[in-house]
Structure 1
């Protein structure tokens, strides 16, 4: 019979406890000392409210840690509920920002609007610039609420491309009023 040392038994017990508690992970990470795992950073999507607004749980950077907050995507506007292409815009945002996923956010000059929503540029876990993607695919139009204009040239080019190809609402709706 093989007898293990007290040290190896302790190691085995600790490893088992870590696995049970979910402290151990089988997936490799890119984390390095002083460089946390990027998958563990950013606000978490709780729900998509409409095409240009999501609810998130803050991570302590822009939005306080644990705070449940609404984020209004900057420099874009999607059709309101009941308007032409609103369901498609909301569905596209939900595809880009699935519940439980993490965001990378960037602020501009003004952090909040009069409705207390955070005004942010958002990238998803695949590093897609969601604000621009929605405009380029025709699920949103560009809209400028000064002084927040950091990506205005990007949004202008994205909308021009969507209009030229008749993407999304540009061909589905009689005349987008935005």
Structure 2
């Protein structure tokens, strides 16, 4: 016995409604999907390395406005100024850790900007390396306190002590350190 045309239409309508709902749900992101994920594709994009402790990025809308080009000063570190001992090496190391076009994870502290309108941030690269600490630990930077921004001060202190003891980077390359 063949189903009536009304039964076929009802069944076809139910199937169509189910498929439309299922297809529609595919495009719905689960809760938290727009949150940063380790190794994910969100975060500011590196545009340029200014020097060892300052970079230029394009914001992603979290700390730095979306699409805005901004300078970021890495918190709690200081690298040699241009022309000083180990300046080129420090800038080159920052460029290795933060390749142009790569994405970052950033974290702010108490004060967001300095008097030069640079964002004061802690930075992790796309391999989840804490760049501020890495530069100090390798001897490419020294620790410097940006009060009241002191969240990772104990970390920077330990990293600098390890670099000094090992004679890493500028601790052996530069006189009077």
Give the structure 1 partner of residue 172 of structure 2. Answer: 171
Residue deviations 1:24-82, cap 9 Å, x none?
xxxxxxxx733247322100000100000000000000000000000000000000000
Q: TM-score, with normalisation over the residues of structure 1?
A: 0.79
1:77-117: CA deviation from partner (whole Å, max 9, x where unpaired): 00000000000000000000000000000000000000000
Q: Secondary structure at the match of 2:92?
A: helix
CA-to-partner distance for each residue in 1:112-154, whole Å, 9 max, x for gaps?
Answer: 0000000000000000000000000000000001000000000
Figure out how many residues of one structure are paired with residues of the other and give that number: 145
> How far apart, in 1, do the equivalents of 2:145 and 2:159 lie?
14
> Which residue pairs with 1:148 in the alignment?
149
Q: SS of 2:133's equivalent?
A: helix
Query: Distance between the aligned counterparts of 1:132 and 1:151, measured in 2?
Result: 9
Matched, 1:98 2:99: yes
Aligned equivalents of 1:58, 1:50: Cα separation in 2: 19
Of 27, 30, 33 in structure 1, the residue corresponding to residue 30 of structure 2 is 33
In 1, the alpha carbon distance for the partners of 2:58 and 2:82 equals 24
Q: Which residue of 1 aligns with 2:63?
A: 62
Q: Is there any run of 5+ residues in structure 2 with no aligned partner, and where?
A: 1-28
Q: How does 1:1-178 map to 2 (within 5 A)?
A: 33-34=30-31, 35-36=33-34, 38=37, 39-176=40-177
Which protein is bigger by CA-based radius of gyration? Answer: 2
